[in-house]
Amino acid sequence: MTGYSTAEILGSVEGGVPTRELYKEDLPTPCLLLDLDAFESNVRRMHGFLTAAGQGIRPHAKTHKCPEVAKRQIAAGASGICVARIVEAEAMVRAGIPGILISSPVIGRNAVGRLIRLVKTRPDLMVVIDHPRGAADLADAAEVAGVVLNVVVDLDVGLKRTGALPGEGAAELTESLLKRKSLRFSGLQAFAGCTHVQGFEKRRGVSLDMMGKAVRTRELLESRGIEVPMLSGGSTGTYNIDSELAGVTEQQVGSYVFMDVDYRAIGGRDRPVFDDFQPALWVLTTVVSRTYSEQATVDAGLKAFATDRPYVPEVKGLSGVRYGFGGDEHGRLFLEHPSREVELGDRLELMVTHCDPNVNLFEQMFCTRGERVEAVWTVEARGRG
> Do residues 309 and 362 both lie within one domain?
yes
3-state secondary structure of 307: coil
pTM of the model: 0.96
Has residue 20 been placed in a domain?
A: yes
CATH number for the domain spanning 223: value is 3.20.20.10
Q: How many residues does the chain have?
A: 385
> Do residues 226 and 303 both lie within one domain?
no
How many whole angstroms separate alpha carbon 27 and alpha carbon 382? 21
Q: Which residues contact 249 (CB under 8 A, 6 or more apart)?
A: 55, 56, 187, 229, 230, 231, 232
CATH number for the domain spanning 312: value is 2.40.37.20
Has residue 116 been placed in a domain?
A: yes
How many whole angstroms separate alpha carbon 307 and alpha carbon 313? 10
> Do residues 348 and 201 both lie within one domain?
no
Query: In this structure, are strands 314-315 and 250-251 parallel, antiparallel, or unpaired?
Result: unpaired
How many whole angstroms separate alpha carbon 351 and alpha carbon 254? 17
H helical segments located in 300-343:
none
> Do residues 247 and 280 both lie within one domain?
no
Question: Do residues 77 and 58 lie in contact, with contact meaning Cβ atoms separated by under 8 Å?
Answer: no
Residue 330: how many CA atoms within 13 Å on its side-chain side?
A: 11
Report how far apart, in Å, the C-alpha atoms of 159 and of each of 58, 104, 168, 334 are.
21, 14, 18, 38
pLDDT in single tens digits along all 385 residues of the chain = 468 899 999 999 999 999 999 999 999 999 999 999 999 999 999 999 999 999 999 999 999 999 999 999 999 999 999 999 999 999 999 999 999 999 999 999 999 999 999 999 999 999 999 999 999 999 999 999 999 999 999 999 999 999 999 999 999 999 999 999 999 999 999 999 999 999 999 999 999 999 999 999 999 999 999 999 999 999 999 999 999 999 999 999 999 999 999 999 999 999 999 999 999 999 999 999 999 999 999 999 999 999 998 999 999 999 999 999 999 999 999 999 999 999 999 999 999 999 999 999 999 999 999 999 999 999 999 987 7
Has residue 107 been placed in a domain?
A: yes
Report how far apart, in Å, the C-alpha atoms of 171 and of each of 71, 231, 251 are.
35, 14, 22
How much is the pLDDT for 2? 63
How much is the pLDDT for 1? 47
Last residue of a domain, one of 234, 262, 290: 262
> Do residues 116 and 233 both lie within one domain?
yes
> Do residues 186 and 282 both lie within one domain?
no
Question: Do residues 77 and 47 lie in contact, with contact meaning Cβ atoms separated by under 8 Å?
Answer: yes
> Do residues 28 and 94 both lie within one domain?
no
> Do residues 110 and 190 both lie within one domain?
yes
Has residue 50 been placed in a domain?
A: yes
How many whole angstroms separate alpha carbon 150 and alpha carbon 198? 36
Q: How many domains does the chain have?
A: 2
DSSP 74: H
How much is the pLDDT for 138? 98
How much is the pLDDT for 4? 86
Has residue 1 been placed in a domain?
A: no
Has residue 269 been placed in a domain?
A: no
> Do residues 26 and 115 both lie within one domain?
no
Last residue of a domain, one of 262, 287, 308: 262
How many whole angstroms separate alpha carbon 341 and alpha carbon 318? 9
Has residue 268 been placed in a domain?
A: no
> Do residues 102 and 214 both lie within one domain?
yes
| Range of the structural domain that residue 337 is part of | 6-35+275-378
Question: Do residues 334 and 295 lie in contact, with contact meaning Cβ atoms separated by under 8 Å?
Answer: yes
